[in-house]
Structure 1
Amino acid sequence: MAGWLISVYRYYLKPVHLTMKKQLIKSKLLHCDETPFVMPKKSKQYMWVLHSPGKGGGPPIYLYEYLGARNGEVIQDYLEGYKGILVTDGYQPYHTIMKNSNDITVAGCYSHVRRKFAEIVKAAKKGEKLTPAQEIAAEAVKRIDQFYHLDNKFKESSDEERLKNRQENIRPLVEDFFAWVKTFDSKTISSTKLRAALNYAKNQEYYLKTFLDHPEVPLDNNDAERSIRKFCVGKHNWHIIDSVNGASASALYYSIAETAKANGLKPYEYMRYLISELIKYPREKVPGDELEKLMPWSESIPDICRKKKNKKK
């Protein structure tokens, strides 16, 4: 069965993958994340996911990619030609990409910052007084939660209103937060975890402020984390991918299924329809205009593939 799936990918679905990437690169906002997996006889391998949330007129796309290693070169090569904002965690190669390109801006993730402080607070024993380190961590969590609270009030507002709220109400709090973080001298902090959390926040400051000037940018990279988590759940079931072709095929099938769902399609019905149309053409010889009609976001997709919309009462 695995061999059949790989063959279908190699003979018919590769052009679909390339067409999805072509559309993805047009997006002005991308989320990016990666996760390791096991491939026998090779060093640790990585699956990447890039997610376009569909803002700015383009369709929502989830594109999983087997790029092998986890380094700046592979993702920089992959993003060649991209012009927009990349929402990521604090992985340094993303920042290097930004420094090497005039077209890419990196936005940081407050969820990662908050998590480091929240873990310190969670270590507090119930009923006992917080330690000095835990009190500092609790204050950091409180401050970050305030950013989210104020921003969520304008979740359904226009970009203009969201930007105004961020500039007038959230920016002062963000500036105060980083000024407060910098009051702590790492050398005087005895808690290793608190020292790491404070240093992480300080080092990410530039990227964590990107959202203030871009109303379409979220405060975190949770979209990509949720996307890559689906692959993580799967890998605990099948444990290994034992070939490069298998990894590439897996990436494509995940991409089709998740993008289909994001565009209101039923993955199984859509996959059946997609393959039934592709086999009408010689292998990898599907005309570009016909491929566009088969994409998950195309209006040409038949109703049998679409989820029924819930009727409002």
Structure 2
Amino acid sequence: MSRAGEHTRSILGDWKGSLVCDDYAGYQALWAQGVIEVGCMAHARRYFMELVTADKSTIADTAVELIGQLYGIEREVKNLAPEHRLEERWRRALPIMQTLHAWLIAQRVKLTDGGAIAKAIDCSLKRWTALIRYLDDPALPIDNNYDEHQIRPWALGRANWQFAGNLVAGRRPVAIKSLIQSARLNGHDSYADLKDVLTRLPTHKARDIDQLLPHLWQPAPTAR
């Protein structure tokens, strides 16, 4: 219905865990409820990368380079056993994070408030505790890019879909799109899944309707 934080809280309910996210204001109330904030390094990097691309900022370029080193480590350790991944993060990534933090502070004191580079640095310093949390938990990723990629089709189309007529009308395509994307995530051909489900629905027993959900769905047996 909107981007208000109440919807995020409604979806997550009583869930507790580590939430890898950007600095969206709607998440703020969750931290007091026991959800652990984990910063997304890709969002932190984006502010600096935009300055490098648009303004050829040499200051921002240093931040991008250091963050790039962190990503290089993650690519190398992603297939290691959790305890070894944690060890490598502490041994190799932690010193880079410490260097980055010291560099951010040193640069910030040289800058006046309100400038683009000052804002980029402030965003990282504000969320520093959240940004370094991935170092202490081998199960946590450095960013939430995987989820960002999953929702990209809907984010790109949002401007075209925002006028659905009313809330009830809007919920129908949301339900269909959720089924399609869930089928993909479970390794199915989404067209084959949806076609089969719609074909079977009229005669399928209501008590067994959950069998048609994407994570349980199996194609109907082929008639001989």
User: TM-score, length-normalised on structure 2?
Assistant: 0.87
1:70 matched to 2:30: no
Aligned residue for 1:183, secondary structure, equals helix
> In structure 1, what is the Cα distance between the partners aligned to 2:198 and 2:17?
33
Instruction: Give the partner amino acid of 1:212.
Output: L
Q: Which of these residues, 201, 213, 219, is aligned with residue 295 of structure 1?
A: 213
Contact 1:116 1:197 in 2 (8 A): yes
- Alignment partner of 1:263 is 2:181: no
What do residues 88-116 of structure 1 show as CA deviations (whole Å, max 9, x unaligned)?
111133132122x12x2221111111111
SS at match of 2:77: coil
Partner of 2:94: 171
Q: Which residue of 2 aligns with 1:234?
A: 157
**Alpha-carbon contact 2:108-2:121 (below 8 Å) kept:** no
Contact map agreement 1:72 1:97 (CA 8 A) in 2: no
The one of 69, 72, 87 equivalent to 1:149 is: 72
How far apart are the structure 2 equivalents of 1:269 and 1:148? 38
Checking the alignment, whether the CA contact within 8 Å between 1:85 and 1:105 is kept in structure 2 is yes
Q: d(CA) in 2 for partners of 1:85 and 1:248?
A: 28
2:196/2:220 contact within 8 Å kept? no
- Say if 1:151 and 1:165, in contact at 8 Å, map to a contact too: no
- Counterpart CA distance in 1 for 2:169 and 2:85 is 44
- Measured in 2, the distance between the counterparts of 1:148 and 1:136 equals 19
Matched, 1:114 2:45: yes
Q: Aligned AA for 2:11?
A: Y
Residue 178 of structure 1: how far off its partner (Å): 1.5
Q: Using the alignment, how far apart are the partners of 2:200 and 2:91 within structure 1?
A: 53
C-alpha change, 1:275 and 1:82, in structure 2 (3 Å) is farther
Q: CA deviation at 1:297?
A: 2.1
Residue 236 (structure 1) shift: 5.2
Give the 3-state SS of the residue equivalent to 2:78 in structure 1. Answer: coil
**Higher RCO (CA < 8 A, seq sep 6+):** 1
Specify the code of the residue in structure 1 equivalent to 2:138: P
Change (3 A) 1:176 1:95: farther
1:45-89: CA deviation from partner (whole Å, max 9, x where unpaired): xxxxxxxxxxxxxxxxxxxxxxx1212222112211212222211
Contact 1:113 1:200 in 2 (8 A): yes
Aligned counterparts of 1:255 and 1:194: Cα–Cα separation in 2: 39
Please name the residue that 1:105 is paired with: 36
Q: Give me the whole-angstrom Cα distance separating, in 2, the residues matched to 1:223 and 1:166.
A: 20
Distance, in Å, in 2 between the alignment partners of 1:79 and 1:236 is: 25
1:213-228 alignment, distance < 5 Å: 213-228=136-151
Unaligned residue ranges in structure 2 (runs of 5+): none
Give 1:217 shift.
Answer: 1.7
Shift of 1:201: 0.5
In structure 2, relative to structure 1, the CA distance for the partners of 1:234 and 1:69 (3 Å cut) is: closer
Distance 2:26 2:158 in 1: 25
Q: 1:193 to 1:294 in 2, by over 3 A?
A: same
Q: From the superposition, tell whether residues 265 and 303 of structure 1 become closer, same or farther in structure 2 (CA, over 3 Å).
A: farther
Are 1:161 and 2:94 an aligned pair? no
TM-score by length of 1: 0.64
Q: Does 1:94 align with 2:30?
A: no
Task: State the one-letter code of the partner of 1:73.
Answer: E
Partner of 2:173: 250
Higher helix share: 2
Deviates more, 1:239-248 or 1:164-173: 239-248
2:190 aligned partner, one-letter code: P
Q: Measure, in 1, the Cα distance between the counterparts of 2:187 and 2:120.
A: 40
The partner residue of 1:185 within 108, 123, 131 is 108
The total of aligned residue pairs comes to: 221
